[in-house]
Amino acid sequence: MLHFRTEGFNGSAVKYSPFFDNRLAVAASANFGLVGNGRLYFLELTPNGIVPLKWYTTQDSLYDLAWSEIHENQVLTASGDGSIKLFDCTINEFPVQAWKEHSREVLSVHWNLVAKDRFCSSSWDGTVKIWSAQRKQSLLTLPTYSCTYSAAFSPHNPDILSCVTSDSHVRLFDLRAPDSASGHPAMIPIHGSTSAFVPGTLGSSAKQTIVPPSECLTHDWNKYRPSILATAGVDRTVRTFDIRAPQQGPLSVMPGHDYAIRKLAWSPHRSDLLLTASYDMTCRVWSDRSDMLVKDGDLMRTGPIGPTMGSELGRMGHHTEFVMGVDWCLFGSEGWCASVGWDESLLVWDVRAFVK
Amino acid sequence: MSPAAQQRLSQVASHFMPRPTKGVSTLVEKHPDDIVVTCALRTAITKGGKGGFKDTAAADLLAGVLKGIILGSSIDPALVGDIAVGSVLPPGGGATEFRGAALVAGIPETAAVKSLNRQCSSGLQAVVDIANEIKAGVIDVGIGAGVESMSLQYGPGAVTEFSELLDNHMEAANCKVPMGVLSEQMAKDRNIARTDQDQFAASSYQKAVKAQKEGLFNEEIVPLQVKWTDPKTNEEKIITVSADDSIRDGVTPESLSKIRPAFAKDGSIHAGNSSQVSDGAAAVLLMRRSTAERLGQKIIGKYVTASVVGVKPLLMGIGPWKAIPVALEKAGISKEDVDIYEINEAFASQCVWCIKGLGLPFEKINPKGGAIAFGHPLGCTGSRQVSTLLTELKRTDKKIGVTSMCVGTGMGMAAVWVAE
């Protein structure tokens, strides 16, 4: 396990470069992101450990970052003052571009993996915005009416965008459909519509009870199954959904974290594997047990079948404070990942070492 | 703090919704901030006025059991932040001599000592107080203890005369009705048959005899060397007391049925189906789980929660019946989830009534016997139950236990424990 101390700054997000297998970026904030400066680190993995390539100190806290998909030296940051900035690690001190439209904290930024000239942002101001790096103003503003913790483009379709909010819903925007783009997205109630499923053990019939809605803090699109995404948040539970059957409840459910889950990331290498970071100071690896699901997988036809209970494969407990960010390495042997937390630590580790 | 920072803080705080605290699986989870027990020991409990400790001061018993805790756990005594000692009879609450006892036991002057009195639950209250101090961050490591020398301190001097004001208030005046008298009345009012009481009392003796023969108490008893005057020869000897000396073999419901009632001619309560007058001390070493792990202390159990309730002074015997459901509710478990109940046997009558009232199976109650068989040194009992419970849970490979007792003047206490 490699360690780097973001001294004086509490980590909020970490991302591996999509271009270099040894490059990472970390977004961090002084005073736990409550008040004070932010800092963006460009870091390199070297035989001598993790070495900072460059860092930038910003006026306000940083809550998220995204690597540019078209420029290997550039990273976007989401800032507490409502701004989004683009930093280039070959240029000292100042960002190469900045956008300021959000009226409150920007909580996530995400670059479109297909249409690489676009990225999106989500904010506490109750909007998701779509941007082009070439333009000064946003291309589109999508209202969510509630604090939006995470927004992401589908990795399979450049025009589909999802976000999760404090109102316990996933919103799906299809930018090609006029009413969706004008603010009438498809909605998936994460806690269940009238009732939600409490998972029994595998194969047992699902018992239905009401689960109260709770803030959803993070979500991610599966990299192999285009219709699957996973959500997690304050209720400590990871759920996966098939966007083709939004009202039929979760496909699989993974309870186990002791406190809210702050970040989740699907594996770039295996379709059933995901990683979570939680306020309970652990990172956990899960399999959603999609191998147990109906093979033909068409929920529209089979109807609700009750969720599968995913399984926790392992946990990493080396952080000593809330873990806020986690990301998989895209390159090399499958299983390397990085996590950051409020303990001012970036840890780079191999998931396989923690699998039971 | 600026409004924005305040809002950001509230947002993070809102991410912590209350954990569901229901069920055994939640209860047995391990968290760094759990309050855990790493050592729970007691002295032998001996017959009041006759037994091994009849000439030993309460403070000496306390010093002995505190020494036992330090040796048994190998804790650095300088880490102990506070010691709470429950005791009912000593004048002045025992505050002065208990501080002395802690120093004798080798605990440095940096550790604070307090004495407290919640009648028969004082020992449990002491443990709960220490757990709460740790929970609140006042101290990191503490000892909850209980001690009583009924041989030396039982008597009228232990209660202050009631003022006219109190005497003229009916419910207040009820507080000084002697325990035996009110329990006799309660047994009559609630139709607790003498045969049921004798049956329960005899089984307490039989379980204790069996447990003692199998050596089940050895693990929890600290042997003490004390001076003892032989009543026949008046000769002072040094003896080692390492076993309860009031457990009688061969007690049956039939043999108990012959004993004359003690409090009323037509009564049902007698010496054989009430708790014995005795001497003893017990102590429990508590700390946060994270502290225990850092210090390499062996965790034997977890303190979960406790309840304290009030009942009518004349019905003090129903205390456990009222306190246990409150503690279980707080712990988020049902009565069936509990593997062992240690309910103090003040009187067989009230204990039987509580067990039946709660609908508990008799097999789960006091599996090694109780105060009827080996005695009830008032302040000691609450801490004594912890060692008795945790050793038995571990031996039988069970998890969840409850300790409880009725409390004079009309109260009840209960605590929930998990063995690890």
Mapping DSSP onto H, E and C, the string for chain A reads CEEEECCCCEEEEEEECCCCCCEEEEEEEHHHHCCCCEEEEEEEEECCEEEEEEEEEECCCEEEEEECCCCCCEEEEEECCCEEEEEECCCCCCCCEEEECCCCCEEEEEECCCCCCEEEEEECCCEEEEEECCCCCCCEEEECCCCEEEEEECCCCCCEEEEEECCCEEEEEECCCHHHHCCCCEEEECCCCCCEEECCCCCCCCEEECCCCCCEEEEEECCCCCCEEEEEECCCEEEEEECCCCCCCCCEEEECCCCCEEEEEECCCCCCEEEEEECCCCEEEEECCHHHCCCCCCHHHHCCCCCEECEEEEEECCCCCCEEEEEECCCCCCCEEEEEECCCEEEEEEHHHCEC
- Inter-chain Cβ pairs, chain A and chain B, closer than 8 A: 40
pLDDT for B155: 80
pLDDT at A302: 55
What is the band of A209 on the pLDDT scale with cuts at 50, 70, 90? very low
Confidence check: pLDDT of A197 > 50: no
* Any A CB within 8 A of B138 CB: no
The Cβ of residue B157 has, within 10 Å, a number of other Cβ atoms equal to: 10
Q: What's residue A309's pLDDT?
A: 84
Q: Is B120 one of the annotated active-site residues of the chain?
A: yes
Q: Does B1 have pLDDT greater than 90?
A: no
Q: Which residues of B touch A258 (CB under 8 A)?
A: 19, 29, 31
**What is the average per-residue pLDDT within B208-224?**
96
What is the spatial distance between Cα A337 and Cα A320, in angstroms, rounded to a whole number? 18
* Band (A194; pLDDT cuts 50, 70, 90): very low
Going by C-alpha positions, the residue among B358, B366, B368, B301 that lies closest to residue B340 is B366
Alpha carbons B108 and A198: distance in angstroms, whole number? 54
- The reported pLDDT for the residue numbered A297 is 54
What does the pLDDT read at residue A205?
37
What is the C-alpha to C-alpha distance for residues B187 and B251, in angstroms, rounded to an integer?
A: 22
Q: Are B371 and B346 in contact (CB under 8 A)?
A: yes
Length of chain B, in residues: 420
Q: Do A35 and B2 touch (CB under 8 A)?
A: yes
Provide, for chain B, the percentages of residues in helix, strand and coil under a 3-state DSSP scheme, each rounded to the nearest 5: 45, 20, 35
How far is C-alpha B357 from the geometric centre of its chain's CA atoms?
21
Which amino acid does the sequence have at B7?
Q
Tokens of B53: 């400790």
Asked which of A165-179, A223-237, B20-34, B138-152 is least confident by mean pLDDT, the reply is: B20-34
Among B92, B128, B152, CA closest to B405: B128
DSSP state letters, B199-248: HHHHHHHHHHHHHHHTTTTGGGBPPEEEEEE-TTT--EEEEEE-S-S-PP
A247 close to A239: Cβ distance less than 8 angstroms:
no
Shortest CA distance from A149: residue in chain B: B11
Known catalytic residue: B376?
Answer: yes
Mean pLDDT (whole number) for B128-138: 97
Q: Measured at the alpha carbon of residue A246, what is the angle toward residues A245 and A251, in degrees to the nearest 5?
A: 70
Distance of CA B193 to the CA centre of its chain: 27
Average of per-residue pLDDT across B50-72: 97
pLDDT tens, position by position, A292-343: 665 555 555 555 566 788 889 999 999 999 999 999 999 988 899 999 999 9
Mark which residues 374-393 of B lie under 8 Å from A by CB. Answer: none
The residue-averaged pLDDT of B237-264 equals 94
Q: Tokens 């089984």, residue? A: B203
Torsion sign, CA atoms B74, B404, B61, B137: positive
Q: Which residues contact A227 (CB under 8 A, 6 or more apart)?
A: A242, A243, A244
Distance CA B409, CA A20 (A): 76
Q: Given an 8 Å threshold on Cβ–Cβ distance, is B4 in contact with A33?
A: no
Q: Give the C-alpha separation, A138 to B380, whole Å.
A: 73
Question: Which H helix or E strand runs over B297?
Answer: none
Interface confidence (ipTM) of the complex: 0.85
Sign of CA dihedral A31, A37, A42, A44: negative
Nearest CA in chain B to A211: B20
Using DSSP bridges, classify how beta strands A140-143 and A196-198 pair: parallel, antiparallel or unpaired: unpaired
Interface touch A234/B14, C-beta < 8 Å: yes
Cβ separation of A217 and B19 shorter than 8 Å?
Answer: no
Nearest CA in chain B to A81: B4
Catalytic residue (one of B39, B120, B351, B354): B120
Residues of chain B with pLDDT > 70, as a percent, come to 99
Name the residue with tokens 């729970």. B40
* Cα A308 to Cα A293: distance, rounded to the nearest angstrom: 7
| Mean pLDDT for the stretch of residues A257-266 | 95
Closest alpha carbon to B67 in B220, B219, B224: B224
**Nearest chain B residue to A34, by CA:** B5
Asked whether the beta carbons of B65 and B42 are under 8 A apart, the reply is yes
Q: Round to whole Å and give the CA distance between A224 and A273.
A: 11
Active site residue B406: yes
Counting runs of H as helices and runs of E as strands, what totals does chain B give? 16, 12
Asked if residue A284 has pLDDT above 80, the reply is yes
- The pLDDT confidence band at residue A208, using thresholds 50, 70 and 90, is very low
Cβ–Cβ below 8 Å for A258 and B29: yes
Average pLDDT for residues B323-330, to the nearest whole number?
93
Determine the distance in angstroms separating the CA of B333 from the nearest CA of chain A, rounded to an integer. 19
Q: How far is B414 from chain A (nearest CA, A)?
A: 27
Helix (H, G, I), strand (E, B) or coil at B322: helix
Helices B381-395 and B122-135 meet at what angle, rounded to 10?
A: 80
The arithmetic mean of pLDDT across residues B24-34, rounded, is 87
The residue-averaged pLDDT of B311-327 equals 95
Residue A240, min C-alpha distance to chain B (Å): 20
Residues B416 and B375: their CA atoms lie apart, in Å, by 23
> What distance in Å separates the CA atoms of residue A122 and residue A51, rounded to the nearest whole number?
31
Of A148, A149, A175, give the one whose Cα is nearest residue A161. Answer: A175
* 8 A C-beta contact, residue A76 and residue A133: no
Q: For A299, phi and psi rounded to 5 degrees? A: -70, -25
Q: State the average pLDDT over residues B241-248.
A: 95
Q: Are B380 and B147 in contact (CB under 8 A)?
A: yes
CB-CB under 8 Å, A80 with B4 = yes
The confidence score (pLDDT) of residue A195 equals 40
**For the residues A254-271, what does the mean pLDDT come to?**
94
- To 5 degrees, how large is the angle CA A284–CA A215–CA A59? 85
DSSP labels, B158-205: GSPPPPHHHHTSHHHHHTTS-HHHHHHHHHHHTT--HHHHHHHHHHHH
Q: Which residue has the tokens 């076993």?
A: B243
Q: What residues of A are in contact with residue B17 (Cβ under 8 Å)?
A: 214, 234-235, 260
Nearest to B286 by CA among B129, B115, B402, B63: B129
Q: Is the pLDDT of residue A198 over 50?
A: no
At B150, is the pLDDT very low, low, confident or very high (cuts 50, 70, 90)? very high
Chain A CB contacts of B31 under 8 Å are 258
Give the mean model confidence (pLDDT) for residues A178-195. Answer: 76
Task: Give φ, ψ of B45 to 5 degrees.
Answer: -110, 125
In CATH terms, the superfamily for domain B29-154+205-414 is Thiolase/Chalcone synthase (3.40.47.10)
Q: Which residues contact B346 (CB under 8 A, 6 or more apart)?
A: B120, B179, B183, B274, B275, B317, B371, B376, B405, B406
Which amino acid type is present at position B394? Answer: K
Secondary structure of residue B22 in the 3-state scheme: coil
Q: Is B165 in the A-facing interface, judged by CB distances under 8 Å?
A: no
Between positions 9 and 28 of B, the ones with CB within 8 A of A are 9, 11-12, 14-17, 19
Of B9, B15, B29, the CB nearest to A34: B9
More confident site: B92 or A276: A276
Chain B nearest-CA distance from A97, in A, is 25
Can you say whether the dihedral through the CA atoms of A334, A335, A336, A342 is positive or negative?
A: positive
Residue A212's pLDDT is 77
Q: CA angle, B288 as apex, B30 and B222 as ends, to 5°?
A: 105
* Predicted local confidence at residue B167, as pLDDT: 94
Mean of the per-residue pLDDT values of chain A: 89
What are the residue boundaries of the structural domains of chain B, listed by start? 29-154+205-414
Q: Which of A29, A32, A34 is the best substitution to test chain B (most B C-beta atoms within 10 A)? A: A34
CA A162 to the chain's CA centroid:
11
B96 Cβ partners below 8 Å, 6+ apart? none
Residue A121 has phi, psi (to 5 degrees) of -140, 155
Q: Which tens digits make up the pLDDT trace of A138-184? A: 999 999 999 999 999 999 999 999 999 999 999 999 999 887 777 78
Contact A214 B17 (CB under 8 A): yes
The reported pLDDT for the residue numbered A295 is 54
Q: Determine how many CB atoms are found less than 10 A away from the CB of residue B101.
A: 28
Chain A residues whose beta carbon lies within 8 Å of the beta carbon of residue B16: 234, 259-260, 279
Nearest CB neighbour to A35, from listed B5, B19, B29: B5
Among candidate residues B351, B354, B376, B380, the one labeled active-site is B376
Helix or strand run (H / E) with residue B402:
strand B400-407
- pLDDT category at A202 given cuts 50, 70, 90 is very low
User: Is B14 a residue whose pLDDT tops 60?
Assistant: yes
Confidence of residue B3 (pLDDT cuts 50, 70, 90): confident
Tens of pLDDT, residue by residue over A89-104, are: 999 989 999 999 999 9
Q: How far apart are CA A220 and CA B268, in angstroms?
A: 72
Specify the residue for token string 């001598």: A48
Q: Is pTM beyond 0.95 here?
A: no
Rounded CA-CA distance A29/A10 in Å is 5
Q: What angle do CA B36, B41, B47 make, to 5 degrees?
A: 145
